A and B are shown apart, each in its own frame.
Chain A
Amino acid sequence: MNLKPETFKQIDEVITHYPVKRSATLPLLHLIQEDAGWISTEAIEWIAQKLELQPINVYEVVTFYPMFRQKPIGRRHIKVCRTLSCALTGGYKVCDQFQKEFSCHTGEVSPDGEVTIEFVECLASCGTGPVVMIDDDLHEKVDCAKATALSEQIKSAAKRRPNA
């Protein structure tokens, strides 16, 4: 597995949190996804070996939890909340706006490779809907204008990136 040394250290540490190694399946998947961006077959087999499991034990976990992905996504991950409270305050319009901004549909990587937009279920911030998560950061009360502003920020950060 090609991971940062820091990730290997965190992996060895987190396994000690549990009396049964298998419990570290979700933490390991999170750590590897944060480092590599997605969960490859190689990662599944590596985790299985590390935790003394069969690959199917890890694979079935990857396919069950919506946050784990088996293919790469755009450099930035935009998650728009779809559930009731956000929909009542305009979540569907916001999701459409992001798709227009980056010329792609939900679940796809945008043509420039910059973003993947997902329409996800409840993000537990219903009082400040519609809410959007961009990578790890929550953005509240996002209307179409704010969606455009956030998209502009992503686009200008992309331009500033070396080798862009």
Chain B
Amino acid sequence: MPAPTQRRLIFAHIDEPGYTNDLPCYLKHGGYEVMKRSFARPPAELMDEVKKSGLRGRGGAGFPCGVKWSLVDRKSGKPIYLIVNADESEPGTFKDRYIMHQDPHQLIEGTIISCFANNVKQAYIYIRGEMPHGARILEKAIAEARAANLVGPNILGSTYSCEIYVHRGAGAYICGEETGLIESLEGKRANPRIKPPYFPAVLGLYQCPTIVNNVETLCHVKHIVDMGGEAYTRIGTPNNTGTRIFCVSGHVQRPGYYEFEAGKITMGQLLNEVCGGPLPGRTFKAVIPGGSSAKILRFGERFKGKRKVGADMVDYDWGVEDVPMDFDSLGMIGTMGGSGGVIVMDDTVNMVEALANINAFYSHESCGQCTPCREGSLWMKKITTRMVHGTARAEDAALLKSVADQIPGRTICAFGEACSWPTQSFIAKFGDEFKGYPEAKKIAKPEGANELV
């Protein structure tokens, strides 16, 4: 079956010739009209549209946005904050960068609508430190919007006021975790908070109720309010509504960002047709479907089971290429859709070396609060690096697995899972390659293979 065509909702104007990131261009394309219309509606109705839309968070967890909003403590009498999570730190993910650089007003409009719906008077955009231009573009866009009375006091002459400030991170991956981000925004080390009791919806920024949403999620809100939650559910598939942006990187002919209706495209269509297949003379070996912490898939493995289609249960028997790229299907086969970062590896890649690269990342980024994560991530790095640069032993696979198995479920935040899933899944899927590595490393690497650690 040929791949469907792209459905560009969020990326409608990305890379469009002549489209600039300033306010006049945005207004010319109908900008802030949805916001104007939404101000004439009761906030509860807007929240209801988002709930009906089934929108799932685009940052990684896929948690329903409407549910997240409904958990906010609105009786405390404390101000409610909204934080835009623009930390985009999961390796393999690079979608929010383009929204912020090329279409910042789309994010600002989505943010103000979301703030209005939730009675938020103060929003912060937490952007990663490595995007200094992005931060300046957002600051300029907010200043333009403020000058046009679209942000700030008494927006468009109404009684509603909302301010947005940009806050820059400083190179720590853990700031993408929402409670770590909140600590960082409070001016501290980004050590994630324990839940309960520190659910952001109740005790978030300055111990006030706080909503933390990803950049892309907030852009979707604008489109949901525009077309209505009901209409939005007709894009994509049931329970995986709307569009998804896939960020494809690594060993394909045409890496890049592609937006499709959720669940309407398979991994094989995405990689072979949209991205042009493997590099000349190579074959696909493995793919990580949702950012580097998602469990790896091995080309050639098969997934069997029963799944719900409408009201019926039907059998499925999929290869990696057959898997629809949505949260639920990827979850069913033991991995996740995560942040949409698809990292492709071909037959030149040695899996021990690829894992050593990932482990070096996670050991560098552990905040160090919880012993299993701080020590475990470092040990996994040390073992895999030694295998590559020092002595490799056949029993290292079992040792790695024993370290990885002792981390998840024993840490304050999901970093414990994020750092152990790569090791667990690489060994489960490529166990022979790990056992055979002491012999394999004596042989010359295939032509075109790159050093990975």
Residues of A within 8 A of B (CB): 17, 19-20, 22-27, 29-30, 51, 57, 60-61, 64-68, 79, 82-85, 87-93, 120-129, 133, 136-138
Given contacts A60-B189, A85-B91, A93-B451, contact A27 B172 (CB under 8 A): no
Q: How far is the CA of A83 from the CA of B188 in the complex (A)?
A: 26
CB pair B128–A121 under 8 Å, yes or no, is no
Interface 9-mer from B35-43, B152-160, B246-254, B328-336 = B246-254
A-B contacts, 14 listed (Cβ < 8 Å): A20-B206, A67-B130, A67-B171, A83-B292, A87-B452, A88-B452, A89-B251, A120-B171, A121-B171, A121-B173, A125-B97, A126-B93, A127-B247, A127-B257
Contact (Cβ within 8 A) B249 A124: no
Tell me which of B162-170, B223-231, B316-324 binds A: B162-170
Q: Is B354 an interface residue (CB 8 A)?
A: yes
Is there an interface contact between B128 and A88, defined as CB atoms closer than 8 Å? no
Closest to A91 in B: B450
Distance, CA A66 to CA B92, complexed state (A):
20
Report A-chain residues with C-beta under 8 Å of the C-beta of B304: none
Complex: chain B residue closest to A21, CB-CB: B187
- Chain A residues, CB < 8 A from B66: none
Supposing A22-B188, A51-B187, A126-B91 touch, asked if A87 and B170 sit within 8 A by C-beta, the answer is no
Q: Are B172 and A61 in contact (CB under 8 A)?
A: no
Are A68 and B250 in contact (CB-based, < 8 A)?
Answer: no
Whether the pair B452, A127 counts as a contact (CB closer than 8 A) is: no
Docked complex Cα distance between A92 and B357 (Å): 11
A89 / chain B contacts, CB cutoff of 8 Å: 250-251, 450
Q: Is the CB of A23 within 8 A of B185?
A: yes
* Residues B132 and A124 in contact, CB atoms below 8 Å apart: no
Is the CB–CB distance between A26 and B256 below 8 Å? no
Q: Is the CB of A66 within 8 A of B249?
A: no
Q: With an 8 A cutoff between CB atoms, is B94 at the interface? A: yes
**A22–B349 CA distance with the chains assembled, in angstroms:** 46
Instruction: Chain B residues near A24: list those with CB within 8 A.
Output: 187
Contacts of A26 in B (CB 8 A): 167-170, 184, 187
From the candidates B130, B357, B452, name the one contacting A124 in the complex (CB within 8 A): B130
Most A-side CB within 10 Å, residue of B88, B165, B173, B249: B249
Give Cα A83 to B171, complex, Å.
14
- Whether B31 sits at the interface, judged by CB under 8 Å, is no
Query: Which residues of B does A touch, CB under 8 Å?
Result: 88-94, 96-97, 128-133, 165, 167-173, 184-190, 206, 247-251, 255-257, 292, 341, 343, 345, 349, 354, 357-358, 360-361, 364-365, 367, 450-453
A30-B129, A84-B292 given; 18 more Cβ-contact pairs under 8 Å: A22-B188, A23-B186, A26-B167, A27-B167, A65-B129, A65-B172, A65-B190, A84-B91, A85-B92, A87-B452, A88-B354, A124-B88, A124-B128, A126-B92, A126-B93, A126-B250, A127-B94, A127-B257
Top 8 nearest A-B pairs (CB, nearest first) are: A25-B187, A65-B170, A126-B249, A85-B249, A66-B171, A67-B171, A22-B187, A67-B170
CA distance A29 to B184 in the complex (A): 13
- The interface residues of chain B lying within 8 Å CB-to-CB of A88 are 249-251, 343, 345, 349, 354, 450, 452
Are B343 and A67 touching (Cβ within 8 A)? no
Given A51-B187, A87-B451, A87-B452, decide whether A127 and B91 contact each other with a Cβ distance below 8 A: no
Query: What CA separation (Å) do A134 and B416 show in the bound complex?
Result: 33
C-alpha gap A26/B168 in the complex (Å): 7
Closest A residue to B358 by CB, please name it.
A84
Whether the Cβ atoms of A84 and B343 lie closer than 8 Å is yes
Contacts of B93 in A (CB 8 A): 124, 126
Max chain A CB contacts within 10 Å: which of B206, B357, B367?
B357
Question: Residues of B contacting A93 with CB < 8 Å?
Answer: 450-451
